[in-house]
Amino acid sequence: MKQAGGPDPESAKQLIDSYKLEIGGVIVNIKVFSTEQEPVPIYSISFLNISDATLRILNKLRDEFLSKVVIGTIQLDEESGANIRQKFEGEIRILIKKYFPGIDNDTTNLLVSHVMQQNVGLGNIEILLKDKNLEEIVINNAAEPVWVYHKRHGWLKTNITIPNEARIRHYATTIGRDIGKEITLLQPLMDANLKSGDRVNATLSPISSKGNTITIRKFSEKPWSITDLILGGTMDLETAAWIWLCVQHELSTIIAGGTGSGKTSALNAIANFFPPNQRIISIEDTRELTLPNTLHWVPLATRLANPEGKGEITMLDLVVNSLRMRPDRIIMGEIRRKAEAEVLFEAMHTGHSVYGTLHANSAEETITRLTNPPIEVPRTVLSSLSAILVQNRNRRTGLRRTLQFAEIEQDGSAKPIIQLDVAKDKLSQIAAPSRLLDTLGLYTGLTPEEISKDLQEKAKLLKWLVGQNISDVHQIGLIMSKYYSGKLRA
């Protein structure tokens, strides 16, 4: 992989951000800057403790190493990936001793780590995968630089390029092989995940007409908690208290929003409020949720068919199966199809609490999506759903915010109760709840005054969590278990 060919760091006009990463002993300097020549900021990487002269020698070493592989001096046969890496590492150590006689073990290990990362792994993409500030890594083709989506700065163009289309295809094949999936001209689309949990989508030309592509959505190493959402300004205390009240009393809720709006993050945060004495079944295409370890939780994940077309486990298979597992609550990563939605709404009717995500940009649009193809749920069954939480990402600023919290009325329409004032960047109550109060009163016996008092107590406890900066989901789960057992009060 080369760095030349991307934007020139020397043409930087304004430094926006700078920080360092350490990867296998190699210090990587990250700079984000803007230039007059580029319409978006540049994400630039450079190696601080490996000189340019050393890098040139390592490139020569790499060429000799690859020639040994090509002519068969290094025999791979049918060995496993781990054995191949071990054999590669041994050969690289021999070559490093040849080109750098007399260097110490620490320096040898550093150079071995760098060469392995560059030539056996995913090259400089491995560096991007280690940067916790990145959410998305995108290879569009070999003709343009790699793009990244930065948590603070949005879309950035990097100074990393891939040498050719064959290398992109090699990366996609490597990713798929590690988990038993294939990408070929006959199967030019692939959904996969790295061992770290990062989600990967790959396409081959000519399906993607400009070249082969890889899109990596990074898995958050730290699961999102309700404290994170409040501290980050995504949600306020009052909205979080309402969600907590609904979750506590088993009112089914759908989280809607556009791509990248934080639906799954909000779903993970909502799960902080589950009581420990109920059985929770989650259903996802790829494991993204991490619930508190205080909970009685069983995660399930779908599986694609093998190359022979056998062994597929669909969302519908898992939803139907989950009802045989005596769940108190069912979490569904994303509602996409009619059959899945029908089973979920039937589960709501039979007394299960259901939580899921849906692609829609408002509460009203959520109802429209649910009642029209391809989901097409009859409006008459929507009343079994109690609330909709809508998440939004401002594509101009990159800020994620709760846009609406709405109740579902008896006729299946959505009534927003809390809504974001975008100009003021503030959530405000725009209507008094009615059906939520009626439902809570019917099943709990609470009066509107008691519900109001309970919301205030919950907001007070949430404020304490934020003040103490308690954001670990497992620690929050322990606090919630004490709350439900009566050992903790606001």
Residue 326 CB contacts under 8 Å (≥ 6 apart), including other chains: 279
Q: How confident is the model at residue 196 (pLDDT cuts 50, 70, 90)?
A: confident
343: in domain: yes
Residue 56: per-residue pLDDT: 82
SS3 484: helix
Contact 332/229 with Cβ under 8 angstroms? no
Residue 473: per-residue pLDDT: 96
489: in domain: no
Same domain, 60 and 150: yes
81: in domain: yes
What region does 72 belong to: left with phi over 0, alpha with psi -120 to 50, or beta? Answer: left
Residue 78: per-residue pLDDT: 44
Same domain, 96 and 182: no
The residue to which tokens 């959530």 are assigned: 427
The rounded distance, in Å, linking the Cα atoms of 180 and 306 is 8
| DSSP secondary structure, 310-324, as one string | ---B-HHHHHHHHTT
Q: How confident is the model at residue 219 (pLDDT cuts 50, 70, 90)?
A: confident
CA dihedral 51, 55, 60, 66 (to 10 degrees): 150
Same domain, 233 and 184: no
340: in domain: yes
Same domain, 194 and 299: no
Give per-residue pLDDT as tens, 120-148.
678 889 999 999 999 999 999 999 999 99
pTM reported for the whole predicted model: 0.81
- Facing residues of 200 across strands? 192, 216
The rounded distance, in Å, linking the Cα atoms of 381 and 329 is 18
Above 60 in pLDDT, residue 299? yes
Same domain, 264 and 308: yes
**CATH code for the domain of 196:** 3.30.450.90
Residue 272, token pair as written in the block: 């902080």
Structural domains of the chain, count: 3
159: in domain: no
**CATH code for the domain of 81:** 3.30.450.380
54: in domain: yes
Residue 30: per-residue pLDDT: 96
**Of 1-15, 165-179, 219-233, where does mean pLDDT reach its minimum?**
1-15
**CATH code for the domain of 394:** 3.40.50.300
**Which regions of 422-484 does DSSP assign to beta strands (E)?**
426-429
Same domain, 230 and 319: yes
Residue 75: per-residue pLDDT: 47
147-150 and 134-139 beta bridge pairing: antiparallel
Q: How confident is the model at residue 1 (pLDDT cuts 50, 70, 90)?
A: very low
Closest CA to 331 of 239, 395, 398, 267: 267
Same domain, 199 and 296: no
Residue 8: per-residue pLDDT: 52
The alpha carbon of 396 is separated from its chain's Cα centroid by a whole number of angstroms, namely 20
395: in domain: yes
More confident residue, 51 or 30: 30
SS3 125: helix
Above 80 in pLDDT, residue 73? no
Same domain, 267 and 400: yes
Same domain, 304 and 215: no
- Facing residues of 42 across strands? 33, 157
**Across residues 228-255, what is the average pLDDT?**
97
Residue 70: per-residue pLDDT: 54
Residue 6: per-residue pLDDT: 54
Same domain, 208 and 232: no
The rounded distance, in Å, linking the Cα atoms of 102 and 199 is 43
Give per-residue pLDDT as tens, 359-369.
999 999 999 99
Above 90 in pLDDT, residue 57? no
The rounded distance, in Å, linking the Cα atoms of 335 and 55 is 49
Above 80 in pLDDT, residue 4? no
154-158 and 42-47 beta bridge pairing: parallel
More confident residue, 54 or 188: 188
353-359 and 329-332 beta bridge pairing: parallel
Q: How confident is the model at residue 193 (pLDDT cuts 50, 70, 90)?
A: confident
Contact 435/411 with Cβ under 8 angstroms? no
Residue 115, token pair as written in the block: 């060469």
- From 219, 243, 266, the end of a domain falls on 219
Integer distance in angstroms from the first to the last C-alpha of the chain?
56
Closest CA to 203 of 215, 194, 217, 220: 215
Burial class (CB in 10 A: 0-12, 13-18, 19+), 133: middle
Residue 77: per-residue pLDDT: 44
**Of 19-33, 75-89, 144-158, where does mean pLDDT reach its minimum?**
75-89
Q: Which amino acid is at 89?
A: E
Residue 254 CB contacts under 8 Å (≥ 6 apart), including other chains: 335, 355, 356, 357, 358, 366, 385, 387, 388, 389
Same domain, 285 and 380: yes
- From 154, 187, 208, the end of a domain falls on 154
Closest CA to 273 of 471, 459, 476, 460: 476
Residue 490: per-residue pLDDT: 55
The rounded distance, in Å, linking the Cα atoms of 436 and 247 is 12
209: in domain: yes
Same domain, 362 and 328: yes
**Across residues 171-184, what is the average pLDDT?**
87
Residue 26: per-residue pLDDT: 80
Contact 122/169 with Cβ under 8 angstroms? no
More confident residue, 35 or 24: 35
**Across residues 389-413, what is the average pLDDT?**
93
Domain region containing 189: 164-219
Above 70 in pLDDT, residue 405? yes
Share of the chain above pLDDT 90, in %: 67
Above 60 in pLDDT, residue 10? no
Residue 52: per-residue pLDDT: 79
